[in-house]
Amino acid sequence: MRIGVTLPQFRHDAEAAVEVARRAESAGIDGVFVFDHLWPLGQRMRPALHSLTLLGALVAETKRVTLGPLVARVGLVPDAVLVHTLVSLRRMAGDRFVAALGTGDGLNREENEAYGVPFLPFPTRLASVVACCRALRGAGVTTWVGGRSAAVRAAAGEADGWNCWGADAETFGAEAAGVAPGRALTWGGQVLIGRTRAEAEAKLRAHGTRPGLVAGTVDDLAAHFRALAAAGAAWAICAPLDIGTDPRAVEMLTEAAVTCR
């Protein structure tokens, strides 16, 4: 199973995100992924680096790691613009680029409407995901579809893989059964890891818990990785809550990854 990490992109300056990507590549992490949000969920006054622009910078700043959005949301720009942008990134990055797409959900409505972008009905957004996947695959771009509803999992049959966000390993395995055979099964979720149990508990008090958060020690994260691998996951993509504040976050993620390779 491959291991990926998301970046500290909810800030004005891109240097921290680029530095984490460099550090992740040097440490042996397999992939670097970026969120596609206009602000952090529920925090509209905070900034967010533009995902696809940041990916263009990462193409130049890295050499080996897989790169991609997790996930690029349809509806923020016309489908043709999204497809052409992702095809351009693939031409820049080559085979190490993955175009992960998603419909977004009700939590994203406020983002769209604040910028005058209509939040279209779910069937329309799902049809756009399918159309974009077909166009991207026709252009030679590897695609994943992200989302946990039965309809989205069925739509992953039009892609090369499926991403499940925030589920435990048992739920991941059960939901993966609804994905067409032959697709890469990938997991993503928030993590918060300490070197010791005491440090892990202190971090949890400081950051607070979240739905689906994997919190604990390096050994706890390693056990989660092993359970995901046993459930068929080809990737585990972690979003450390402290990725922008604890320089050891990448190091601990790498240590946990050793057990599932």
> Has residue 260 got a pLDDT over 80?
no
Backbone φ and ψ for 108, nearest 5 degrees, come out as -90, -10
Task: Provide the residue count of the chain.
Answer: 261
Whether the per-residue pLDDT at 46 is higher than 90: the answer is no
CATH assignment of 2-260? 3.20.20.30
CB atoms inside a 10 Å sphere around CB 206? 11
Q: What does pTM read for this prediction?
A: 0.95
Phi, psi of 219 (to 5 degrees): -65, -35
What are the angstrom distances between the C-alpha of 168 and each of 29, 53, 164, 189, 198? 22, 32, 10, 9, 23
**What mean pLDDT do residues 109-114 have?**
90
Q: From CA 68, how far away is CA 51, in angstroms rounded?
A: 9
Residue 147 near residue 126, CB atoms below 8 Å: no
pLDDT digits (tens, 9 = 90+) for 141-162: 999 999 999 999 999 999 999 9
Domain borders along the chain are: 2-260
Nearest 5°: the CA angle 110, 4, 197 is 90
